[in-house]
């Protein structure tokens, strides 16, 4: 046997040994679990068909966190999982969904929700302003009022008054709409204490909140939650 043939045999042997090692170390454990207690999961976060970079949390006794930008792969014990996105990006809502991961191989596209633009219309009638609001999914809406001293007894009589929200401590009143915004309308009543000047106003804030650590918040640890707040000039 010449040297050339010997080298070829040696190279083939090295490749074969390396292939066996890789198979035993990586592929065989996967195949062993295909019909066992584990599932091989590929998961992504999407919005309108596009991959979104975010952090997905998978909980089932244990907690797994995955930073996604496309599909991420993880091997999990089969079972019921709560999966949610961390609110790292204020343009997307945090949502929680339950998945029964029972297949040997599973793919999940976790669809994110985004707040839609709020459209408002106001109609004045004596000492009452009717405000119509509409949006696809502005969530857990709270309203706040702020006014100058030319206007008194400013109120939304049909809504429950709540504590002032984060970032609205210098406003006069806040209210809970107690629902997500589809098509809603409220009446704001007021009285005039003196002839209003150009600088006088009644403003209403439409605020998108999330339930965090036992209360509804519009911001948490310096970050806005959900959609951007809308400030509407009700009266000037």
What's the CATH number where 133 sits? 2.60.40
Do 228 and 128 fall into the same domain?
yes
Taking 70 as the threshold, does the pLDDT of residue 69 lie above it? yes
| Domain housing 130 | 119-235
pLDDT at position 59, please?
93
pLDDT beyond 80 at 114: no
One domain, residues 25 and 78:
no
When divided into structural domains, the chain yields a total of 3
* Cα gap 141→132, rounded to integer Å: 14
Q: What is the pLDDT of residue 33?
A: 46
pLDDT band, very low/low/confident/very high, at 157 (cuts 50, 70, 90): confident
On whether both 102 and 25 belong to a single domain, the answer is no
Query: For the chain, how big is the Rg over CA atoms in Å?
Result: 29
What is the per-residue pLDDT for 73? 93
Of 18-32, 88-102, 146-160, minimum mean pLDDT range = 18-32
Tell me what the pLDDT averaged over the chain comes to: 82
Are 132 and 204 contained in the same domain? Answer: yes
172 and 222 share one domain = yes
Write down the pLDDT at residue 98. 93
pLDDT tens for each residue of 191-229: 999 888 889 999 999 988 766 666 666 666 666 666 678
Does one domain contain both 153 and 193? yes
Burial 57-86 (b: 16+ CB within 10 A, else e): bbebeeeeebebeeeeeeebebeebebebe
Note the pTM of the prediction, 2 decimals.
0.61
Confidence of residue 64 (pLDDT cuts 50, 70, 90): very high
Query: CATH number for the domain including 100?
Result: 2.60.40.10
Between 142 and 180, where is the model more confident?
Answer: 142
Question: Is the per-residue pLDDT at 23 higher than 60?
Answer: no
The answer on 42 and 135 residing in a single domain is no
For residues 93 and 149, state if they share a domain.
no
Boundary (domain end) residue, out of 111, 129, 144: 111
pLDDT in the model for residue 45: 92
Query: Does 144 share its domain with 103?
Result: no
Which candidate, 147, 227, 140, places its Cα nearest to that of 178?
Answer: 140
Same-domain pairing of 170 and 209: yes
The band of 21, judged by pLDDT with boundaries at 50, 70 and 90, is low
pLDDT, tens digit (0-9, with 9 covering 90-100), for 121-134: 888 888 899 999 88
* Residues 126 and 231 occupy one common structural domain: yes
In the prediction, which pLDDT does 34 show?
A: 47
* Run of H or E including 208: strand 202-208
Provide mean pLDDT across the span 109-113.
Answer: 89
Note whether 90 and 178 are same-domain residues: no
Here the tokens at position 47 are 């919005």
Question: Longest Cα pair distance anywhere in the chain, in angstroms?
Answer: 111
Structure tokens at 90: 């204020």
In this prediction, residues 168-181 reach a mean pLDDT of 87
- Who has greater pLDDT, 10 or 85? 85
């Amino acid at each position: 046997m010449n040297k050339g043939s010997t080298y070829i045999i040696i190279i083939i042997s090295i490749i074969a040994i390396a292939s066996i090692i890789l198979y035993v170390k990586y592929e065989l454990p996967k195949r062993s679990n295909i019909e066992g207690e584990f599932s091989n999961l590929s998961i992504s976060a999407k919005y309108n068909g596009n991959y979104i970079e975010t952090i997905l949390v998978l909980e089932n006794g244990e907690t797994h966190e995955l930073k996604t930008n496309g599909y991420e792969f993880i091997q999990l014990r089969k079972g019921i999982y709560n999966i949610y996105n961390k609110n790292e990006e204020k343009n997307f809502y945090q949502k929680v969904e339950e998945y029964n991961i029972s297949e040997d191989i599973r793919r999940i596209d976790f669809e994110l929700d985004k707040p839609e633009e709020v459209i408002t219309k106001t109609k004045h009638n004596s000492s009452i302003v009717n405000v119509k609001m509409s949006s696809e999914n502005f969530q857990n809406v709270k309203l706040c009022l702020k006014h100058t001293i030319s206007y008194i007894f400013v109120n939304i009589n049909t809504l429950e008054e709540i504590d002032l929200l984060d970032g609205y401590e210098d406003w006069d009143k806040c209210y809970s709409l107690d629902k997500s915004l589809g098509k809603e309308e409220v009446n704001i009543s007021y009285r005039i204490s003196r002839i209003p000047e150009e600088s006088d106003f009644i403003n209403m804030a439409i605020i998108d909140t999330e339930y965090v650590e036992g209360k509804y918040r519009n911001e948490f640890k310096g970050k806005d939650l959900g959609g951007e707040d809308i400030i509407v000039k009700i009266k000037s």
